[in-house]
Amino acid sequence: MEARLEKIPRAETLRYLAWHGAALTAELEADLDRCEALILKNARPRLVWRLFALTDGGRFAGTDYTPAGRDIKDFLAGCTQAVLFAATLGMETESLIRRTQLRSMADAVLLDAVGSAAIEAVCDAFCADLSKELAPRHLTGRFSPGYGDYPLEEQRAVFRLLDVSRRIGVSLTESGLMIPQKSVTALIGVSDTPRENRQSGCGDCLGRFACAYRKEGKSCGKA
């Protein structure tokens, strides 16, 4: 399975921009077109993944790794296997967004949002492919370090297990953040029987305390 990025859903981009539904001006639409084209041109989507059997204790078989936290146990309940993956848009996009900040902050804000939508699209495409590949088994949604009580510090373990830096060129900062920033790591549970779809909800979200949508009693639609 190769990383795929064909189209960047505009609605997603607008969500990252905290758009509240006012009419889009023609000029803004044109800016969005241009920024989407720039991200598509600069993105070098890459992907690394592995399928692990889960032991009874929740350990990844063949490794010394057991994901920490109560939430991840709930999330993987009933799963016999888990897919761990990391995806990135690549350093070219990181560079593009950083450099654009010096030329035009307005463009940089748009590119940043388009980039976020793009890496989500890469993850969605991967999940769709994976679902076919592993059929008739069933997949859960994605769960990333930082969701719920699954600590961000687990990123280091994920990086070791997948050899992420060497395989797709993503690095961790000293505090455990990923560069390029448009990168994602996540776990997906695999089970033999269909189960309640445990997509991660608002309760698991990092931004739940400050979320503009939640303050208005809405959700961003991802949960």
Partner 1 sequence: MEKPDILILDGAMGTMLQAAGLETGELPETWCITHPERVAAIHRHYVEAGSRVLYTNTFGANRRKTAGCGYAPTELIRAAVRCAREADAGRDVKVALDIGPIGQLLEPLGDLAFEDAYDIFREMVTAGEEAGADLVVFETMSDLAELRAAVLAAKENTCLPVWASMTFEKTGRSFLGVTVPAMALTLTGLGVDALGFNCSLGPQELLPLVRELREWTDLPILLKPNAGLPDPATGEYKIAPADFAEALAKALPFGVFAVGGCCGTTPDFIRCLCARLHAPGPAPQRRARRHGICCAVREAELDAVRIVGERINPTGKKRFQQALREGDLDYIVRQGIEQQDAGAEILDVNVGLPGVDEAAMMRNVVKALQAAVDLPLQLDSSDPKAIEAGLRVYHGKAIVNSVNGRREVLDAVLPLCKKYGAAVVGLCMDENGIPPSAEGRVEIARRILRAAESYGIPREDVIIDCLTLTVSAQQEQAAETLKAVRTVKAELGLSTTLGVSNISFGLPARETISACFLSQALAVGLDLPILNPNQRAMMDAVAAHRALAGQDPDCEAYIRRFSDLLPAPATVAPMQDMTLREAVLRGLGRETAALTEKALREMDELSVIDTLLIPALDEVGERYERQELFLPQLIKAANAACEGFELIKSRIAARGGQSVSRGRILLATVRGDIHDIGKNIVKVVLENYGYTVLDLGRDVPPERIVETAIRENIQLVGLSALMTTTVPSMAETIAALRESGHACKVMVGGAVLTPEYAKEIGADYYAKDAKQSADIAKRVLG
Which residues of the shown chain bind partner 1 in the complex (CB under 8 A)?
1, 17-20, 22, 25, 28, 31, 44, 47-51, 60, 62-65, 90-92, 94-95, 97-99, 101-110, 112, 146, 152, 157, 160-161, 165-166, 168-169, 171-177, 179-181, 206-207, 209-210
Closest separation in Å from C-beta 196 to partner 1: 27
The three state secondary structure string of 4-36 is CCCCCCHHHHHHHCCCCCCCCCHHHHHHHHHHH
Q: Which is nearer to partner 1, 78 or 146 (CB)?
A: 146
The two tokens of residue 181 are: 């920033």
- Is the distance from CB of 18 to CB of 46 less than 8 angstroms? no
Q: Which is nearer to partner 1, 79 or 89 (CB)?
A: 89
**How many C-beta neighbours within 10 Å does residue 101 have?**
14
- Is the distance from CB of 90 to CB of 180 less than 8 angstroms? yes
Kindly give the interhelix angle for 105-134 and 26-42, rounded to the nearest 10 degrees. 60
Q: Which is nearer to partner 1, 115 or 141 (CB)?
A: 115
Rounded-to-integer distance, Cα 1 and Cα 178, Å: 23
Q: Which is nearer to partner 1, 197 or 210 (CB)?
A: 210
Closest separation in Å from C-beta 6 to partner 1: 19
Residue 110 to residues 57, 79, 206, 211, Cα–Cα distance (Å): 44, 39, 22, 19
Closest separation in Å from C-beta 82 to partner 1: 13
Closest separation in Å from C-beta 9 to partner 1: 18
Closest separation in Å from C-beta 124 to partner 1: 18
Q: Which is nearer to partner 1, 196 or 215 (CB)?
A: 215
Strands 178-179 and 138-143: unpaired
Closest separation in Å from C-beta 74 to partner 1: 20
- Is the distance from CB of 74 to CB of 33 less than 8 angstroms? no
Q: Which is nearer to partner 1, 141 or 180 (CB)?
A: 180
- Is the distance from CB of 89 to CB of 183 less than 8 angstroms? yes
